[in-house]
Amino acid sequence: MSKYWSEVVRTIEPYVPGEQPQVDGLIKLNTNESPYPPSPEVNRVLSQEVVDRLRFYPDPNATELRQSIARYYDLDAGYVFAGNSSDEVLAQTFMAFFQQEQPLLFPDITYGFYPVYCQLFGIESKKIPLTEDFTLGLEQYRQANGGIIFPNPNAPTGQLTPLEAIEALLVDNTESVVVVDEAYIDFGGASAVSLLERFENLLVVQTFSKSRALAGMRVGFALGNPALIEGLERVKNSFNSYPLDAIAQLAAQAAMEDRDYFDQCCRKVIATRVTTIDALVQLGFDVLPSQANFVMAKPPAHITAKHMAEKLRERKIIVRYFAKPRISDYLRISIGTDEQMQQLLVCVREILELTGVAE
């Protein structure tokens, strides 16, 4: 605490990211990263082209990257905004669209950055409870609002909201911006991009951090009507005109262009998710349905989620535990490689056996 801090810095509760341990040999299943390396094309462009370019400022508009994203989604490049991580694109989105008279609506159990951005930017919010079975219950969002945001699939629950429900919400909600945060959409969901032509107040946000294996590069993007994109550009150009460095632009573009590799990695994660869920259920876990690259799993009654997380950590496997209402009985486990998940299951079985009788 310092007397020089402004009011907002004194009172804000900053987001706490999952641990990035500086220890070798851990199986890291706590922050939903890709278990596979980036496309080999990323390697190629970085070694040849990039060093020469570093004395120049990068393209402030990330034109080629945006064109490449636009091609992937069969959109005009005017529908694409690129930023230095989707967290930053979300922050710009909150600034551009959510500072309104009415509160922003988002789920009570959701991505932890939303309430932080509300505090940072002085935005009123109203949390809408997930239903009993952890679905969004979008019918509850039909009320006065200054904006709506939710991840699809939701985080950290992993459940997918069907496109028809999002479409029905958009039909009723035309006076504020609806943001669908699709950080995990590539692992089995249908993107709301297909609704962009019909709904000028829809913004879809995605990231290169999960399905495109570039969490260390920090690249995210938003897709929406050109008038919304222009709003984001006005925010960007009032803070930092060059949010994406030259290396990030090249790497992200190379990853975007390599569709075969991307499809292959997503398919592998999905297949591993299916076998992991089956195995956890066999071991007595209660697992929420997931269309993401992680699962929410509740251990059998004789051991708490927190205790299981600690015991796994002793065996060099880190998973995420949230000491929060409604989800504190669950562990969030990122989907790693088949080998990593085998290792996880061996350890889980051992922990269950060791704790089964005594506790």
Long-range own/partner contacts, residues 96-100 (CB < 8 A, 24 or more apart): 96/228, 96/231, 96/232, 96/234, 96/235, 97/147, 97/176, 97/177, 97/179, 97/203, 97/228, 97/231, 98/123, 98/146, 98/147, 98/149, 98/177, 99/123, 99/146, 100/146, 100/147, 100/176
Nearest to 356 by CA among 302, 298, 281, 318: 302
Nearer to ligand PLP by Cβ, of 303 and 331: the residue is 331
Rounded to whole angstroms, how far apart are CA atoms 290 and 161?
11
Residues of span 325-344 touching ligand PLP by CB under 6 A: none
Nearest to 60 by CA among 243, 292, 220: 243
Least CB distance from residue 169 to ligand PLP, whole Å?
18
Residues of span 123-152 touching ligand PLP by CB under 6 A: 151
Stretch that binds ligand PLP, among 80-88, 101-109, 239-247, 274-282 (CB under 6 A): 80-88
Question: Which one of 30, 209, 249, 293 is in contact with ligand PLP (CB under 6 A)?
Answer: 209
Tokens of 268: 């592998």
Least CB distance from residue 86 to ligand PLP, whole Å?
3
Least CB distance from residue 7 to ligand PLP, whole Å?
26
Least CB distance from residue 218 to ligand PLP, whole Å?
7
Rounded to whole angstroms, how far apart are CA atoms 321 and 60?
39
Question: Which one of 161, 173, 207, 340 is in contact with ligand PLP (CB under 6 A)?
Answer: 207
Least CB distance from residue 39 to ligand PLP, whole Å?
17
3-class DSSP state of 336? coil
Least CB distance from residue 183 to ligand PLP, whole Å?
4
Question: 36 exposed, middle or buried (CB, 10 Å; 0-12, 13-18, 19+)?
Answer: middle
Least CB distance from residue 2 to ligand PLP, whole Å?
28
Question: Which one of 79, 94, 98, 111 is in contact with ligand PLP (CB under 6 A)?
Answer: 111
Residue 220 β-bridge partners: 83, 207
Least CB distance from residue 205 to ligand PLP, whole Å?
7
Angle at CA 167, nearest 5°, toward 262 and 148? 85
Q: Give the H/E segment covering residue 105.
A: strand 104-107
**Site map (CB under 6 A) of ligand PLP, residues 81-100, x = contact:** ----xxx-------------
Question: Which one of 109, 130, 202, 215 is in contact with ligand PLP (CB under 6 A)?
Answer: 215
Least CB distance from residue 283 to ligand PLP, whole Å?
26
Stretch that binds ligand PLP, among 79-87, 232-240, 253-261, 341-349 (CB under 6 A): 79-87
Nearest to 228 by CA among 84, 66, 67, 95: 95
3-class DSSP state of 266? helix
Nearer to ligand PLP by Cβ, of 151 and 336: the residue is 151
Q: Give the H/E segment covering residue 202.
A: strand 202-207
Least CB distance from residue 32 to ligand PLP, whole Å?
6
Nearer to ligand PLP by Cβ, of 262 and 303: the residue is 262
Question: Which one of 220, 243, 299, 336 is in contact with ligand PLP (CB under 6 A)?
Answer: 220
Q: At what angle do helices 86-97 and 226-236 cross, to 10 degrees?
A: 100
**Site map (CB under 6 A) of ligand PLP, residues 236-275, x = contact:** ----------------------------------------
Rounded to whole angstroms, how far apart are CA atoms 19 and 320?
9
Separation of first and last alpha carbons in the chain: 43
Rounded to whole angstroms, how far apart are CA atoms 111 and 280?
24
Q: Give the interface size with ligand PLP as a residue count (CB under 6 A).
A: 12
> Is 183 a binder of ligand PLP (CB under 6 A)?
yes
Q: Which residues bind ligand PLP (CB under 6 A)?
A: 85-87, 111, 151, 155, 181, 183, 207, 209, 215, 220
